Chain A
Amino acid sequence: MKSNMADMVFEGLLRIADDNLILGHRTSEWCGHAPTLEEDLALPNIALDLIGHAQTLYCLACEINSRYKNEDQLAFLRLEHEYKNLLLVEQENGDFGNTVLRLFYFSTFMKYFWERVKIECCFTKLKEFSEKAFLETSYHSRYASQWVVTLGDGTDESNLKMSNAIANLEPFLGELFNNDDFTEMCSQNDFLPEPTSIFDSWKNEVKAILQKGNLDFPDIILKKRGGRKGEHSEAFGYLLSDLQYMQRAYPNSSW
């Protein structure tokens, strides 16, 4: 692989891996604290998938960039500004409704993303991985969509909480669909689809589900952004303190 291509692939893998790691981390925070035992099983299961995706993607990234010797160095030992995840995924969980709505937004996006990677990605290893990732994110999207409908339709209280969650997450949705020079380059090289190219499918599905839950589809305009450039929210530093604690406290150890 030529060096500029390698840089592109590395950065592209990192963006997706970081999204998955950080949302997996947030999702895992629910373990033992969910509203029902079934959800106590489902949420760690989804976290397991998300962090598993991150692990595979970091491994692929390490094969490309010899500066990083293994996936843990990427996951645990970068500085805050070196993480390229969306602001959406790093926000605190909020209540269960906010958690499932964010999961629904993100996993529905990723489902269409992986579907495109499956067809058109020039990087064979990622293309192969996308088969599994597509199936798993489809399941996450279905799981979360059921809760969005249930909570939206359920009681006045739950409908209000879901409307609040929609308002709370709205400022972060623009970044999900923001094309930049990098995403354009990835698309031109048949590496990754441009986020805007997924918008219509995503919007149709999300709108239909929100409607079933008597909820309004939010305005999607670019408001809060910065994650892709490594500019993160205040909450992110605390997340990293937990995530990186062991690797920072006991450097150069095997676990």
Chain B
Amino acid sequence: MARKQNEKIVSLEEFQEKIDRDEKIEPKDSMPEAYRKTLIRQIGQHAHSEVVGMLPEGNWITRAPTLRRKLSLLAKVQDEAGHGLYLYCAAETLGKSRMEMNQELLSGKAKYSSIFNYPTPTWADIGAIGWLVDGAAIMNQIPLCRCSYGPYARAMIRICKEESFHQRQGYEIMLTLARGTKAQKEMAQRALNRWWWPSVMMFGPSDADSPNTENSVKWKIKRYTNDELRQKFVDAIVPQAEKIGLTVPDKDLKWDKKRNNGQGGYAYGEINWDEFWRVVRGDGPMNNERISAKQKAWNEGSWVRAAAHAHALKKQTALQAAE
């Protein structure tokens, strides 16, 4: 896609002043190359995460326990496809085509949220994903509604509304299981055990090891650091777990009145960063399966896309001939 720019190339200082005045950056505005690249990477990863995220949850659509749950799950997964579409569109405004982003996903060059490289062996995992993974996503995404890049910020407003609905739905699944039979409660606890640490890791490396954070905060792409968001997440989720009688699997979890500038918050145990980096680098439980599933769908669909292309060309030719 050819990139168009408004009147003149602004200097870094002028760009920063615009950001500091809380003015939105729009697609045709001049912007530093690093800003553009950071956003393409971030929005692209976000879009890929929505699309790959359909797989672990889609895994339970045919086996959902009731019609009501089946319908909610279908609606949720469909929302995720919609989020993927908005986000690819937002990234395209920065000059990278969806086709190119898709190829990078399929080749393994582009990343997506590592959380979707974990499996969903039971129904309770659907509850845990909604509650914890969508919960963590909201913590990350609400500040993005105020992100300096206009198309991303606007896409996030709708996405956040839907995500917060998904989170309530997930928590309600867990609540129902926790109040259910012994087997159901055990299923819920095991799912919490599986998803807790990967969810805590969703905020990315700690601030000390996060080289992209400083620029992103300066450019108002990010409003909070990884560790600040992680703290918010832990503080929100721990009381929710207690309320439904489930135990957060962290023996070091305790109230620390010094956290959050003396307002208090939960201190939590050491994060297993080896696991985090292992999964990011491709050695998680489901990395191969997820990408293979997307490659298979893409390859098996190639004749369909080729036919759609050929049909559109024929229609266009017929239309031109008629004129």
Q: From known contacts A34-B297, A51-B71, A255-B176, infer whether A44 and B78 are also in contact, taking CB-CB under 8 Å.
A: yes
**A36: chain B residues within 8 A (beta carbon):** 301, 304-305
Q: Are B305 and A253 in contact (CB under 8 A)?
A: no
Bound Cα distance A253, B77 (Å): 25
Q: Which size bracket describes the interface of A in this complex?
A: 35 or more
The verdict on B65 contacting chain A, using a C-beta distance below 8 Å, is: yes
Q: From known contacts A51-B67, A255-B69, infer whether A158 and B77 are also in contact, taking CB-CB under 8 Å.
A: no
Q: From known contacts A34-B297, A41-B81, infer whether A158 and B304 are also in contact, taking CB-CB under 8 Å.
A: yes
Minimum CB distance partner of A157 in chain B:
B303
**A58: chain B residues within 8 A (beta carbon):** 67
Tell me what chain B mostly uses at the interface: helix, strand, loop, or mixed. helix
Q: Are B306 and A255 in contact (CB under 8 A)?
A: no
Tell me what chain A mostly uses at the interface: helix, strand, loop, or mixed. helix
Q: Are B311 and A35 in contact (CB under 8 A)?
A: no
Surface stretch bound by B, among A125-133, A173-181, A244-252: A244-252
Q: Are A254 and B67 in contact (CB under 8 A)?
A: no
Among B66, B303, B305, B307, the residue within 8 A (CB) of A255 is B66
Q: Are A150 and B58 in contact (CB under 8 A)?
A: no
Minimum CB distance partner of B313 in chain A:
A154
**A155: chain B residues within 8 A (beta carbon):** 303, 306-307, 310
Q: Which size bracket describes the interface of B in this complex?
A: 35 or more
Bound Cα distance A84, B173 (Å): 31
The verdict on B88 contacting chain A, using a C-beta distance below 8 Å, is: yes
The verdict on A183 contacting chain B, using a C-beta distance below 8 Å, is: no
Bound Cα distance A155, B293 (Å): 26
Q: Are B306 and A37 in contact (CB under 8 A)?
A: no
The verdict on A75 contacting chain B, using a C-beta distance below 8 Å, is: yes
**B302: chain A residues within 8 A (beta carbon):** 35
Bound Cα distance A161, B221 (Å): 47
Q: From known contacts A44-B77, A250-B181, infer whether A35 and B305 are also in contact, taking CB-CB under 8 Å.
A: yes
Q: In whole Å, how far is B18's beta carbon from the nearest beta carbon of chain A?
A: 33
Bound Cα distance A250, B77 (Å): 25
Q: Are A28 and B74 in contact (CB under 8 A)?
A: yes
Which one of A29, A44, A52, A246 has the greatest number of beta carbons of chain B within 10 Å? A44
Q: Are A254 and B176 in contact (CB under 8 A)?
A: yes
**A136: chain B residues within 8 A (beta carbon):** none
- Encoded as 1 (CB less than 8 Å from any A CB) or 0, chain B from 37 to 51 comes to 000000000000001
The verdict on B184 contacting chain A, using a C-beta distance below 8 Å, is: yes
Closest 7 CB pairs between A and B? A35-B301, A154-B307, A158-B307, A246-B65, A41-B81, A35-B304, A31-B58
Selected A-B contacts with CB under 8 Å, 29 pairs: A29-B61, A29-B62, A31-B54, A33-B293, A34-B297, A41-B81, A41-B85, A44-B77, A47-B61, A48-B71, A48-B75, A51-B71, A55-B68, A58-B67, A72-B67, A96-B301, A151-B304, A153-B314, A154-B307, A155-B307, A157-B306, A157-B307, A158-B304, A158-B307, A243-B62, A250-B181, A253-B183, A255-B69, A255-B173
By a beta-carbon cutoff of 8 Å, the part of chain B in contact with chain A is 51, 54-55, 58, 61-71, 74-75, 77-78, 81-82, 84-85, 88, 123, 173, 176, 180-181, 183-184, 293, 296-298, 300-311, 314
By a beta-carbon cutoff of 8 Å, the part of chain A in contact with chain B is 25, 28-29, 31-41, 44-45, 47-48, 51-52, 54-55, 58, 71-72, 75-76, 95-97, 149-151, 153-155, 157-158, 161, 242-243, 245-247, 250, 253-255
